[in-house]
Structure 1
Amino acid sequence: MIKSALYLSVCTLLLAFNPGSDASLEIGAPIPKADNRLTDISGKEVSLNNAKGANGLLVVFVANQCPYMLRNEERILALSKQAKSNHIGVALINSNEANRSAGESLNAMKEYATAHGFNALYLLDRNAEMADAFDANHTPECYLFDKNSKLVYKGGIDDSPGNADAVKIKHLQNAMNDLLAGKSVGVASSNALGCNIKRKL
């Protein structure tokens, strides 16, 4: 009995120090913390409700210092451009709170966005609150919401985050196409591979 109680206590503590592990965002869920204000690299305070377009919202968790970001930048920029041209708002979110003094500060985000031609909002997520609310754990990791603010797709950009030349299934592209065609998304979730979001412990 004592051993069982001790085991449950240890498990509870482990879960407490592993944000996002017990609150997966399910398909059909509304945009989490949609009215929370985040600082854009322009200096403006923006909520995800502000960022949403007439046909929905694409949220991508990203970072300045991640090899997977370098491999996926062109894909993210192209998909952001397509989304915006079809009245889907785009919000890129940096939740690397543990690295704010080491390349993930707001100033570093501004420099990165300018150097790499970001064409969407680039928002600083204080204390990784949005990452925790979304149960996001990697960069890049994508969430697509419809015009009613309901989640229709979550996961990776495609099936080959490490090598664009090896892509066979364009998960996010297909989900956007289905959304814009008024159809149910064929594949609503996939694995997101990339760098871990650096939360403060």
Structure 2
Amino acid sequence: MRAIPLVFAFVSSFLIGESMVSEGYQPGDKATDFKLKSVDGKTYSMSDYKDAKGFIVVFTCNTCPFAIKYDDRVNALAKKYKSKGYVLLAINPNDPDVQPKDAYNLMQAKAKDKGFVFPYLVDEGQKIYPQYGATKTPHAFLLDKNLVVKYIGAIDDNSDDASAVKEKYLENAIAALESGNDPSPATTKAIGCSIKTNKKV
């Protein structure tokens, strides 16, 4: 009779462990800085930007149809908010062994083709996305100048059609930060593709 409770306890422990690993940051947490290679061959970290008012960290990739639909929107955000003191850093979290079209050389080609104005970084060894708790591409995180997480989730409310967007969640969060307020909502559900990994929890 003890077999069933023991099996249940084992499965429960496994699921709880999986949940804890994937949870990542919550609004109010302080993020750890990173140092990642970009498509220009240089490494970037948030500490490089001493005068930044905040950081927009977007986990994205070459291949996900949702991420592709946001390419131009992410580029426009980087251009718009650079003049306001916000730095956009895009990170590709996918394992190229699992998704070969997310290989570094193809990231370079895409960045050139799309005219990306932001560092397009590689999460080599897939060490950063679990810290953040990113689960999708795209998945956006807004940090203030002290690296405190202020917003997590979707960029806006329409992944299919940029012209039909009604709620610009990320931009609204930045506006709240500019006004000295906490964003509301501070979290939304990220819509996109799962991150491709060989790792087992």
Which TM-score applies when normalising by structure 1? 0.89
**Worse overlay, 146-155 or 52-61:** 52-61
Q: How far did 1:177 drift?
A: 1.4
CA distance in 2, matches of 1:172, 1:20: 25
When residues 192 and 7 of structure 1 are mapped into structure 2, their CA distance, relative to the original with a 3 A threshold, is: same
When residues 179 and 17 of structure 1 are mapped into structure 2, their CA distance, relative to the original with a 3 A threshold, is: closer
Segments ≥4 residues shifted beyond 4 Å: 14-20, 98-101
Equivalent position amino acid for 2:10 in 1? S
Confirm or deny: 8 A CA contact 2:98 2:197 kept in the other structure: no
CA distance in 1, matches of 2:92, 2:79: 19
Name the % identity: 31
2:7 is the alignment partner of 1:9: no
Secondary structure, in 3 states, of the residue corresponding to 2:142?
strand
CA distance in 2, matches of 1:12, 1:162: 38
Secondary structure, in 3 states, of the residue corresponding to 1:57?
strand
Per the alignment, residue 26 of structure 2 pairs with 26
**Worse overlay, 159-168 or 95-104:** 95-104
CA distance in 2, matches of 1:70, 1:54: 27
**Worse overlay, 23-32 or 120-129:** 23-32
Confirm or deny: 8 A CA contact 2:96 2:103 kept in the other structure: no
Unmatched tracts of structure 2, length 5 or more: none
Confirm or deny: 8 A CA contact 1:51 1:57 kept in the other structure: no
Secondary structure, in 3 states, of the residue corresponding to 1:165?
helix
CA distance in 2, matches of 1:185, 1:77: 22
2:126 is the alignment partner of 1:125: no
Confirm or deny: 8 A CA contact 1:20 1:136 kept in the other structure: no
Aligned-residue CA RMSD in angstroms? 2.1
Which TM-score applies when normalising by structure 2? 0.89
Unmatched tracts of structure 1, length 5 or more: none
Q: Deviations over 1:29-73 (max 9, x none)?
A: 1113x1x32111111122233357520111000100111122112
Per the alignment, residue 85 of structure 2 pairs with 87
Per the alignment, residue 194 of structure 1 pairs with 192
Per the alignment, residue 61 of structure 1 pairs with 59
Equivalent position amino acid for 1:4 in 2? P
For this pair of structures, how many residues does the alignment match? 198
Confirm or deny: 8 A CA contact 1:91 1:120 kept in the other structure: yes
